A and B are shown apart, each in its own frame.
Chain A
């Protein structure tokens, strides 16, 4: 049995747990704990303490694991552990909370430093009234035009599938690039 993993990362409350839950074939194992910081409490009553974990069985010999990272900075010691051996990663950003864009950028750079694997950026909560336009988010995050920045609604399986597929296409393209 071969196992591969992808990591879903992003700032606190970006929608990582929901994203994994949308496509995982097992109930997502997440460690939700009541939070204490008042600023965080205003957004969400509980947050992921360590990480989320979901699974997609491909066939008898291959399983894909999806690991979600904790959104809060104080758990960032887990990031390096999680990034080991990953096939690629997804950075989630809440399109309606521009105050988190800087942190998303910082998380993206940290993961790039851990492992130079392909990645995509998912602009979540595109169904929310206050959501920023995709191209505005690209500018705010200072993303190169080549970086895939994709619209996302984390509880909509179709958009989640699309993001996973785009990441896999990027991984494939990099492999093809390596062949040349």
Chain B
């Protein structure tokens, strides 16, 4: 029977476990909410991975791994487009630029990273194409799945805990009135700032996630961090925008007189500082 189903019923970690135990050979195709991924296995070991339209040709992978400079990548992409990954790998090794280990380690690291990203996919469908492997000209690896499965299981536990901590994404966030004294030492990532810039009692967490282009897991992780840091609190949304409406931070439509009154209140307050 074909191995196919829904990620809600069967997680990516469970799929990897099955492929590992059954020593399967073929390609797992996952259709996520925004993009698709193809992960190939040979006898239960990770061989190859690709997500969406991301360039996973050898030259790009080596560039991401800082094994090739931007100039070298550009030269390869303009002059050696017809050269297959295997041929390019041999050329680089023979020319003394890189070793075989450099190439295999870079590919392993990239493929592993793709699989790690799939752990955050909780919506979508999957199917396993038996015996389907990547094109012959691509370099494949042989990577045991056990560590990845453990990592995936950890993320799954984290996901379950985050669901307990933040059961509904239909709630809104509000900055705490009197944050703790240690707030000055707080370091936020760019992603956290992206969320912070959308915090408003009128915006639900779900709307913020959509505006910041984050998955459920990513937004829950960031909101949980902000909650733990004492920067925000969860409240019922104020006003209740329609879910599909584009989130706009801080902006509230008013008539001209209300706007003037608001600005005058601000002026009075600033004068009193």
| Chains A and B are bound partners | yes
Residues of chain A whose beta carbon lies under 8 Å from any beta carbon of chain B: 1-5, 23, 26-33, 49-51, 53, 55-59, 62, 64-65, 67, 75, 78, 81-82, 84-87, 157, 161, 164-165, 168-169, 171-172, 175-176, 178-179
* A161 close to B270 (CB less than 8 A): yes
In the complex the two chains form, what is the Cα distance from A56 to B259 in whole Å? 18
Instruction: Return the chain A residue nearest B238 by Cβ.
Output: A1
* B256 close to A50 (CB less than 8 A): no
A and B contact pairs by CB, cutoff 8 A, 25 listed: A3-B200, A4-B250, A4-B262, A4-B266, A23-B270, A26-B179, A27-B184, A29-B184, A29-B186, A29-B188, A51-B197, A55-B175, A58-B266, A58-B269, A59-B269, A62-B265, A75-B190, A78-B190, A81-B194, A85-B248, A85-B249, A86-B250, A161-B270, A172-B267, A175-B259
* A179 close to B256 (CB less than 8 A): yes
Q: Does B79 contact A (CB under 8 A)?
A: no
Chain B 11-55 interface 0/1 with A at a Cβ cutoff of 8 Å (1 = within): 000000000000000000000000000000000000000000000
Residues of chain B whose beta carbon lies under 8 Å from any beta carbon of chain A: 174-175, 178-179, 181, 183-184, 186-190, 192-194, 196-197, 200-201, 231, 238, 248-252, 256, 259-260, 262-271, 273
Given contacts A2-B252, A172-B267, 8 further A-B contacts (CB under 8 A): A4-B252, A4-B266, A26-B179, A27-B179, A29-B188, A29-B196, A64-B269, A172-B260
In the complex the two chains form, what is the Cα distance from A64 to B238 in whole Å? 18
Task: Report chain A residues within 8 Å CB of B197.
Answer: 51, 67, 78, 81-82
How far, in Å, is A163 (CB) from chain B's closest CB? 10
* A27 close to B181 (CB less than 8 A): yes
* B273 close to A23 (CB less than 8 A): yes
A-B contact count (CB 8 A): 107
How far, in Å, is B203 (CB) from chain A's closest CB? 10
Instruction: Return the chain B residue nearest A22 by Cβ.
Output: B273
Select one of A32, A85, A165 contacting B251, CB under 8 A: A85
* A84 close to B248 (CB less than 8 A): yes
In the complex the two chains form, what is the Cα distance from A67 to B231 in whole Å? 15
Task: Report chain A residues within 8 Å CB of B250.
Answer: 3-5, 65, 84-86
How far, in Å, is B258 (CB) from chain A's closest CB? 10
* A49 close to B249 (CB less than 8 A): no
* B271 close to A165 (CB less than 8 A): yes
Task: Report chain A residues within 8 Å CB of B187.
Answer: 31-33
* B270 close to A168 (CB less than 8 A): yes
How far, in Å, is A17 (CB) from chain B's closest CB? 11
* B249 close to A171 (CB less than 8 A): no
* B231 close to A29 (CB less than 8 A): yes
How far, in Å, is B262 (CB) from chain A's closest CB? 7
Task: Report chain B residues within 8 Å CB of A49.
Answer: 190
Pick the most buried of B178, B238, B251: most chain A CB atoms within 10 A of its CB: B251
